[in-house]
Chain A
Amino acid sequence: MTGPTVEQAITRVHHEEWARVVAGLARRFGDLDVAEEATAEAFVAAAERWPREGVPSNPGGWLATTATRKGIDRLRRESQRDAKHQAARIVYDDTPPEPTGPVEDDRLRLVFTCCHPALAMEARVALTLRLLGGLTVPEIARAFLVQETTMARRITRAKAKIKAAHIPYRVPWADDIRERLAGVLAVVYLVFNEGYLAGEGDDPLRSDLTDEAIRLGRLLRALLPDDGEVAGLLALMLLTDARRLARVSRTGELVTLDEQDRGAWDRTLIAEGKALVRERLEAVAAGGDPPGRYQLQAAINAVHTDAPSARDTDWSTIVALYGRMVLLDPSPIVRLNRAVAVAEVDGPGVGLAEIDRLGEVLDGYHAFHAARADLLRRLGRGGESRAAYDRAIGLAGNPAERAYLTRRRDQLAG
């Protein structure tokens, strides 16, 4: 009876229940190591027993019970020398999660613990993928192109810091939550971007990472349904991911937005993303907080998906939205994106003049040279365009992007 159905059930339950089981155990035992390892053991037990005994009627409950038992066994084994200490640990917190709404959800505490600002960004990403996403250490190592031992060490060190420095397993206080949530969203978006346009390596797309980021985004949305930026980030990821299939050609070349086959865009993801954008527009119109950067980026992507063809894109709205983003975040990369949109409205000359003002800070950034190359080409300045493409190709880490830039360069006349 080891049919694909049991295997599929385990995969599904792993997706749905992993974070909940780890988070519940973390609360009960006050120890992330115990929580994670006991949960992993429970899934191993499920993989062994469910094909023989069938999938239990309440798989999540079965896993939580099994994992708790494994956790207690583990603590017993570990603390033989100190019975009193062990007893204290096991009764650490046996209360069921308080039914006071999603903000008390164990998984939310786990998110804020994994993304604590006292941890290095790379450690936050790794911990989040491990403890909330349930990815194995080798999977995370592969995704970020580091040695397995390096990744294992990174996770171990982060968990040791959480323990030794007493990083609390708690949702932050109300006045901190907004600030801390920004860090959580940054982690999720980083995972997404690494999957959507991998900075290094041979795979232009890593759908395992984009899928995982969207899953984390949906989880955050379920836990914090009233937060505009949570909705904005999920919408942004959905609308971006909807274009995934149209984004790389059969020959492995990046296809830019204006050349994409819009029929290949995923309409279901677009509908879901646009519904979130609409919800946020209504909330802002009803006097809610002004939109943050993820909501604005989602809105920009919604404008793109609204256009039946690239020609029909409402570029003035996009320029206006980027204008609002510049006010929130005047970073050179946001200004670069705005300048590219300005070129569509006011012509390549105006866009190029804006871009050239960013040269000093963005000289090491491939997208800066790629945008310049394109505008120079449209202005008929072939020699300068070629030089800019060369710079961009030299700096681009993603193979699909390099292939695209190389073709554009080689198409230049003369």
Chain B
Amino acid sequence: MPRYLLSVYGPAERTEFGTYPSQKAMLQAFADTGAFTERLQRDGHFVFADGLEPATTATTVDGQGEKSAFTDGPYLGTKEYLGGFWVIEAADLDVALALAAEGSKACRGTVEVRPFRTEESVRALLAP
């Protein structure tokens, strides 16, 4: 079954309650997100999911040169950063989009849906 990455984007600006306006809102979003993740597990869509610490905690590494370079901060400087993600299995994009809409509502964030490469697409890539 096709796999999709559902990545949740949220603002770089954060309050003391992360990307949420209040503690109550934050706890409610956590509960809704947990319930949505349980539903993914129950219905056989779940592969993996987790939340991330703020983008300010990221370190960027470039090991392509002779000496590796380490830089404080995320690779891209944008107003919105990846806050967490689900990896799911879904029959097709329509199923994935419907789940992403539910997840977006649960976690109060915008969700990007991207298919994972499949054996078939890699094969097409290698074809002459």
A311 CB-CB contact with B under 8 Å: no
Q: Map CB proximity to B onto A95-111 as digits: 1 under 8 Å, 0 otherwise.
A: 00000000000000000
Query: Does B123 contact A167, Cβ atoms closer than 8 Å?
Result: no
Question: Which residues 63-89 of B sit at the A interface, judged by CB distance below 8 A?
Answer: none
A222 CB-CB contact with B under 8 Å: no
Looking at the assembled complex, report how far the CB atom of A346 sits from the nearest CB atom of chain B, in whole angstroms.
45
Query: Does B115 contact A118, Cβ atoms closer than 8 Å?
Result: no
Report how far A82 CA is from B121 CA in the complex, Å.
Answer: 14
B97 CB-CB contact with A under 8 Å: yes
- Our pick among A78, A118, A176 for the contact of B93 (Cβ within 8 Å) is A118
Q: How many chain B residues touch the partner (CB < 8 A)?
A: 15
Query: Does B94 contact A168, Cβ atoms closer than 8 Å?
Result: yes
A172 CB-CB contact with B under 8 Å: yes
Report how far A116 CA is from B94 CA in the complex, Å.
Answer: 9
Looking at the assembled complex, report how far the CB atom of B110 sits from the nearest CB atom of chain A, in whole angstroms.
15
- Contact residue range for chain A? 10 to 19
A166 CB-CB contact with B under 8 Å: yes
Report how far A302 CA is from B118 CA in the complex, Å.
Answer: 53
B21 CB-CB contact with A under 8 Å: no
Q: Map CB proximity to B onto A143-178 as digits: 1 under 8 Å, 0 otherwise.
A: 000000000000000000001111110101000100
Query: Does A118 contact B121, Cβ atoms closer than 8 Å?
Result: no
In the complex, what residues of A have CB within 8 A of residue B97's CB? Answer: 118
B34 CB-CB contact with A under 8 Å: no
Beyond A78-B127, A166-B91, list 13 extra A-B contacts (CB 8 Å). A82-B123, A85-B120, A85-B123, A118-B97, A165-B93, A165-B113, A165-B114, A166-B93, A166-B96, A167-B93, A168-B93, A168-B94, A172-B94
B92 CB-CB contact with A under 8 Å: yes
Report how far A85 CA is from B126 CA in the complex, Å.
Answer: 15
Please report B residues at the A interface, Cβ cutoff 8 Å.
Answer: 2, 91-94, 96-97, 113-115, 118, 120-121, 123, 127
Q: Map CB proximity to B onto A164-204 as digits: 1 under 8 Å, 0 otherwise.
A: 11111010100010000000000000000000000000000
CB-defined A-B contacts under 8 Å, sample of 29: A78-B127, A82-B123, A85-B123, A116-B93, A118-B93, A118-B97, A163-B121, A164-B118, A164-B121, A165-B93, A165-B113, A165-B114, A165-B115, A166-B2, A166-B91, A166-B92, A166-B93, A166-B96, A166-B115, A167-B92, A167-B93, A167-B94, A168-B92, A168-B93, A168-B94, A170-B92, A170-B94, A172-B94, A176-B94
Q: Point out which of B94, B120, B123 has the most chain A C-beta atoms below 10 A from its C-beta.
A: B94
Report how far A118 CA is from B2 CA in the complex, Å.
Answer: 16
Looking at the assembled complex, report how far the CB atom of A175 sits from the nearest CB atom of chain B, in whole angstroms.
11
Closest A residue to B1 by beta carbon equals A166
Report how far A61 CA is from B91 CA in the complex, Å.
Answer: 33
In the complex, what residues of B have CB within 8 A of residue A118's CB? Answer: 93, 97
Closest A residue to B128 by beta carbon equals A81
